[in-house]
Amino acid sequence: MSRIDLNSDLGEGFGPWVMGDDAKMLSIVTSANIACGGHASDPETMFQTLVLARDNGVNVGAHPGFNDREGFGRRVIPMSPPDIGRMCAAQIGALIGIAALVGVPVTYVKPHGALYNDMMKHQPLLSAVMGAVASYPADLKLMILATADAKHHHTMARHLGLTLVLEAFADRLYTDQGHLVARNIAGSVHDKAALLAQVKQLLASNSVTTQSGKSLKLNADSICVHGDNAQGVALIEDIKALCSASV
Amino acid sequence: MSRIDLNSDLGEGFGPWVMGDDAKMLSIVTSANIACGGHASDPETMFQTLVLARDNGVNVGAHPGFNDREGFGRRVIPMSPPDIGRMCAAQIGALIGIAALVGVPVTYVKPHGALYNDMMKHQPLLSAVMGAVASYPADLKLMILATADAKHHHTMARHLGLTLVLEAFADRLYTDQGHLVARNIAGSVHDKAALLAQVKQLLASNSVTTQSGKSLKLNADSICVHGDNAQGVALIEDIKALCSASV
Amino acid sequence: MSRIDLNSDLGEGFGPWVMGDDAKMLSIVTSANIACGGHASDPETMFQTLVLARDNGVNVGAHPGFNDREGFGRRVIPMSPPDIGRMCAAQIGALIGIAALVGVPVTYVKPHGALYNDMMKHQPLLSAVMGAVASYPADLKLMILATADAKHHHTMARHLGLTLVLEAFADRLYTDQGHLVARNIAGSVHDKAALLAQVKQLLASNSVTTQSGKSLKLNADSICVHGDNAQGVALIEDIKALCSASV
Amino acid sequence: MSRIDLNSDLGEGFGPWVMGDDAKMLSIVTSANIACGGHASDPETMFQTLVLARDNGVNVGAHPGFNDREGFGRRVIPMSPPDIGRMCAAQIGALIGIAALVGVPVTYVKPHGALYNDMMKHQPLLSAVMGAVASYPADLKLMILATADAKHHHTMARHLGLTLVLEAFADRLYTDQGHLVARNIAGSVHDKAALLAQVKQLLASNSVTTQSGKSLKLNADSICVHGDNAQGVALIEDIKALCSASV
């Protein structure tokens, strides 16, 4: 990993409701995946989050999700791939519209929750998302999961003139194919020691040790972190320290 | 009126619900104010409307309104001017995102319903809307009502590097200040004969005869028409014929 | 069918949007499944529909659906059976609250769209819906599809002190198990002649001829009709005439 | 105050978002105003809050508000009094539907935020809310602000067969008419000492000392408390201690 990037899902409040400590997180991470009014957020929340991102010099990405605030974008809403492309285009545009008011560029897109998971499983959906991002009249990259299929994903993207950003997860166990082991499987979410070990391995060799014990090269550009609570935020500061030490 | 432009509010369906005959209207008008998911529409409806507009060679405008589908943007939702600017920016961006998928440019913005009326009454609100449109990273004009204050409005816009499009209403009686007489006042909405007479006067001298009988110069660039039902659509075809004859 | 009941989904407008000709339909059908603000409707639409139902002496049922107006309740939103029971309870309550203002009793519940289909396929879901209806502090029946499993369904309901109303479809081809053949299968939706023949058979012997040519006894209490357009409404008037003739 | 009742707005989360510490508050207060899916909440949140209320033996009230989660019911949405009555009826019904699943009675209604304030200012609106509550097919009281007009309010309610519950505020300065001094006026919100003094006065003589220094008899049945943060919760425990001491 030549440039150490830490990305996190932020700006996920809605109206009067707060989610996490965005101000703290934006003082740590280097890329912010900012909700766009689909699974979370609204114009005012987007604006306030974008101001914080700008003031912290954090790289801004659009974080579209299913239009389902009640389910926080974690439920698969049945939609065709073209419909999903249109939904993403509208949400990306919404954030970019507000970012223009703030004076901060939006440089990439990372889908959220069930949309992200589905996109990594179903190629027509990934194509639709890639198409929506590539056709947007701004220079946007797409952030997806670094898997064993990365080469194929890069080829798909190149045909659309799109650049991918590959991300790895600090806290999750991987399958041999580079997918995340489902959360309901024992051992799928790392404890602190395993998490920090995985980050060290990513920094040293850009690989992870999979479920079966193999070493899988990821060539990730960014590490995804979650600061859902004070303990999570403290852990990200540990990760940040590892990253700084590795430069 | 050097170029005869007819604009209409379109794409105002939502999910399974239809509003008016967009296909018919898009074969008549030259500019379409397309709802952006605030007072009406959703990504799929935006997409289908934009495809129709593109295929008919109709000029496309974003038509933001209060986030209030239940009230169809006809209720004033109390919001500060900056909040309204952010709301508009998000909606404009949403339409532009989908327009990029369709391959049609969005060239102007015209606010909807209660937002439009409020904007013409409250200068801080008009400033906020102007600011949101001017800061958008695309070349967008703003369509507002042609009133006796047009010169002042042009000055406000010029300071933001923004170009205005002024519109006149075919079917509404005007006050001496160039505002629309409220709908609940008798005589405020023209019958067919008065409407066509007003269009003729607009085409001949770009003026209207006001409530008090004065002639008011409007310098309008566009005429707003409503095709809410079959009768309304027939009337627009009459207006269109007058416009064609006047060229 | 000792009492000839015709039921239809009504009150499915939302805010400014209209769906079908409720006034006409309420002059024909004997039971109205009225949307509750989930897949369609809002307090004002519920109120207006309930007034029409009351004035036409039509039996009123609550018609809950997934909270998904954009998808009109036709998409399966992933939810656990208890969550679905709670969603139904809230929607039924909403309609009953407004019906009290109108002075008309709500006497039954019929789920809508994807919720109805899912409920007929998944017994835990059917149990949850039954539980929500049975626990409601009003005397409510539940309307479900008359299938070959009707006896089992009656038993499930009896344990909860709940009475079922079984409905048959006029326009749909049946499987041997009494389920509706999926719409995407050729021949699944009857033409006018086949539809009227199916109604005659229902009236004469309360049975349908299934996909494989067998006669399946349904013991239905009600026939579901759809008046989505003028042609559909005319067909319902034909069905109504058959029903009247059969009495 | 013969019976010391403490009421608080609870169940105001939505989907993934939390608002306040309901579990803690429900161990202190004696009446819970539970949001109904208008300004906050959803079926699942209602259910979980009702379970907590039931398990703590807390009296349950429906807490309807404008259908405006983004504005948290703090913005006046322009609606006619009859529309507001229907909106309230739907929300009250929704909560009662879910309360039936939980097995806890809903005994009163207290409107929220902008709806509450508007209702205390505009008699047609108060009448509409009273009508909606009175017509509901369950025995529900209506909680309103104890003001100098209480006698008149009781008369209005009696004509509808409705019982009122009058509430006083612990933390707010009163006008001589018994209305709350607007929050933007200096001194309108009491500090801890003034708040506890006001509670003592309410418990001793059911009166408050108004803005002009007069003593105003309130005859309140309940005291409204807000536990928005840990400090607020601690203060409520102090109030509770005063109440217990006064019995």
For C88-100, what is each residue's pLDDT tens digit? 999 999 999 999 9
Contact assignment for C87 to D43 by CB distance below 8 Å: yes
Question: Nearest Cα to B38, choosing from C25, A238, A171, A42?
Answer: A42
Chain B residue numbers with beta carbons less than 8 Å from the beta carbon of D76 are 78
Q: What average pLDDT does chain D have?
A: 95
Which residues does chain B have within 8 Å of residue D77's beta carbon, measured at their own beta carbons?
Answer: 68, 71, 75, 77
Q: Find chain A residues with C-beta within 8 A of C77's C-beta.
A: 68, 71, 75, 77
Pairing of strands D207-209, D215-217: antiparallel
Neighbour-count burial for C9-35, b at 16+ CB within 10 Å, e otherwise: bbbbbbbbbebbbbeebbebbbbbbbb
**Measured distance CA(C137)–CA(D96) in Å, rounded:** 9
Mean per-residue pLDDT for A208-233?
93
Contact C77 A68 (CB under 8 A): yes
Q: Does A42 touch chain D (CB under 8 A)?
A: yes
Q: How confident is the model at residue C59 (pLDDT cuts 50, 70, 90)?
A: very high
C41, C86, C91: best to mutate for the D interface, most D CBs within 10 A: C86
* C18 interfacial to chain B (CB closer than 8 Å): yes
Q: Does B44 touch chain A (CB under 8 A)?
A: yes
Q: What whole-number distance in Å separates Cα of residue D40 and Cα of residue C240? A: 44
Q: Is D195 helix (H, G, I), strand (E, B) or coil?
A: helix
Q: Closest Cα to residue B32, out of B64, B59, B3, B51?
A: B59
Enclosing H/E stretch for B124: helix B123-135
From the list B200, B168, B171, the residue with the least C-alpha distance to B188 is: B171
* Residue from B27, D92, A191 nearest C98 by CA: D92
The CA distance from C17 to the nearest CA of chain A, in Å, is 21
Quick check: C14 contacting B, CB < 8 Å? Answer: yes
How many H helices and E strands in chain C? 8, 9
- List of chain D residues whose C-beta atoms are within 8 Å of the C-beta of residue B79: 75
* Span B199-212, average pLDDT: 96
Q: Which two tokens stand for residue D2?
A: 């013969």
**pLDDT at position C3, please?**
61
| Joined tokens for residue A227 | 């600061």
Closest of B65, B68, C34 to residue D67, by C-alpha: B68
Provide the pLDDT confidence category of residue D3 given band limits of 50, 70 and 90. low
Average pLDDT over residues D19-31: 96
Residue of A nearest to B81 (CA): A44
Chain C CA closest to residue A66: C77
Percent of chain D predicted with pLDDT > 70: 98
Q: Do A95 and B93 touch (CB under 8 A)?
A: yes
Contact flag D92-C90 (C-beta cutoff 8 Å): no
Predicted local distance difference test score (pLDDT) of residue A13: 98
Residue A155 is classified by DSSP as H
Average pLDDT over residues C205-224: 96
Residues of C within 8 A of B42 (CB-CB) are: 70
Q: How far is A110 from chain D (nearest CA, A)?
A: 20
- What does the pLDDT look like over D95-105, one tens digit per residue? 999 999 999 99
DSSP H or E segment with residue D35: strand D31-35
The single-letter DSSP state of residue A179 is: P
What pLDDT does C228 receive?
79
Is there a contact between D43 and C137 if contact means CB atoms under 8 Å apart?
no
Split at pLDDT 50, 70, 90, the class of A245 is: confident
pLDDT of residue A229: 84
Provide the pLDDT for residue C229.
Answer: 83
Confidence of residue A35 (pLDDT cuts 50, 70, 90): very high
Q: What is the pLDDT of residue A247?
A: 66
Q: Chain A partners of B95 at a C-beta cutoff of 8 Å?
A: 90, 93
| Residue D97 to residue C100, Cβ atoms within 8 A | no
Burial of residue B190, with CB atoms counted within 10 A of its CB: 0-12 exposed, 13-18 middle, 19 or more buried? middle
Section A48-56 average pLDDT: 98
Task: Supply the mean pLDDT for chain C.
Answer: 95
| HSE-CB for A125 with a 13 A CA cutoff | 19
Confidence of residue C157 (pLDDT cuts 50, 70, 90): very high
Average pLDDT in the B61-81 region? 97
**A72 in contact with chain D, both atoms CB, cutoff 8 A:** yes
D85–C95 CB contact, under 8 Å:
no
- Does any CB of chain B come closer than 8 Å to the CB of residue A232? no
Question: In whole numbers, what is the pLDDT of chain A averaged over residues?
Answer: 95
Q: Which residue has the tokens 């929607």?
A: C91
Percent of the residues in chain C that have a pLDDT greater than 90, as a whole number: 91
Q: Any chain B CB within 8 A of the CB of D203?
A: no
Best CA proximity match to B222, nearest among B29, B36, B92 = B29
Which residues, other chains included, contact C159 with Cβ-Cβ below 8 Å and sequence gap of 6+?
A: none
- Return the number of CB contacts < 8 Å for B and D: 17
Quickly state the pLDDT bin for B1 (edges 50, 70, 90). low
Q: Is A223 helix (H, G, I), strand (E, B) or coil?
A: strand
What are the chain D neighbours of C44 within 8 Å (beta carbons)?
A: 83, 86
Q: Which residues of B touch D117 (CB under 8 A)?
A: none
Against chain D, the chains showing at least 3 CB pairs within 8 Å are A, B, C
Alpha helices in chain D (DSSP H): 22-25, 43-55, 81-102, 113-121, 123-135, 150-159, 192-205, 230-246
Question: Does the structure show a pLDDT above 90 at D245?
Answer: no
> Model confidence at A2, in pLDDT bands (50, 70, 90)?
very low
Between chains, do B77 and D75 touch, taking CB under 8 Å as contact? yes
Is the CB of residue A71 less than 8 Å away from at least one CB of chain C? yes
pLDDT of residue A57: 97
Spell out which residues of chain C touch residue A70, defining contact as CB-CB under 8 Å.
Answer: 67
Compute the C-alpha angle D200/D206/D210, nearest 5°.
80
Query: Distance between CA C144 and CA C148 in Å, rounded?
Result: 12
Average pLDDT over residues C232-245: 90
pLDDT at C2: 46
Residues 6+ apart with CB under 8 A from D36: D46, D62, D63, D64, D65, D91, D92, D94, D95
**Residues in A touching C67 (Cβ below 8 Å):** 70
Residues of A with Cβ-Cβ distance to D75 under 8 angstroms:
none
Q: Do D136 and C97 touch (CB under 8 A)?
A: yes
Task: Give chain C positions within 8 Å (CB) of B13.
Answer: 17
pLDDT exceeds 70 at position B247: no
User: How far apart are the CA of D68 and the nearest CA of chain A, in angstroms?
Assistant: 9
Within 8 A of A14 by CB-CB distance, chain D residues are 14, 17, 69-70
Q: Which domains does chain C have, with CATH numbers?
A: 5-169+220-227 (3.20.20.370)
CB of B11 within 8 Å of any CB in chain C? no
CA distance D61 to D56: 14
Interchain CB distance below 8 Å, D15 and A70: yes
The first and second tokens of residue D173, run together, are 């300065």
**How many C-beta atoms lie closer than 10 Å to residue C244's C-beta?**
9
- Which H/E stretch holds residue B34? strand B31-35
Q: Which of B86, B93, B136 sits opposite A47 (nearest CB)?
A: B86
Distance of CA C90 to the CA centre of its chain: 18
Residue of D nearest to B66 (CA): D77
Instruction: State whether C15 and B42 contact (CB < 8 Å).
Output: no
Task: Establish if A90 touches chain C: CB-CB under 8 angstroms.
Answer: no
Q: Which of A67, A87, A94 sits opposite B93 (nearest CB)?
A: A94
Cβ–Cβ contact C15 with B under 8 A = yes
For B28, B149, D118, D168, the CA distances from D108, given in Å and listed in that order, are: 56, 53, 19, 16
pLDDT of residue B243: 87
> Do the chains contact at D77 and B77, CB–CB below 8 Å?
yes
- pLDDT for C52 beyond 80: yes
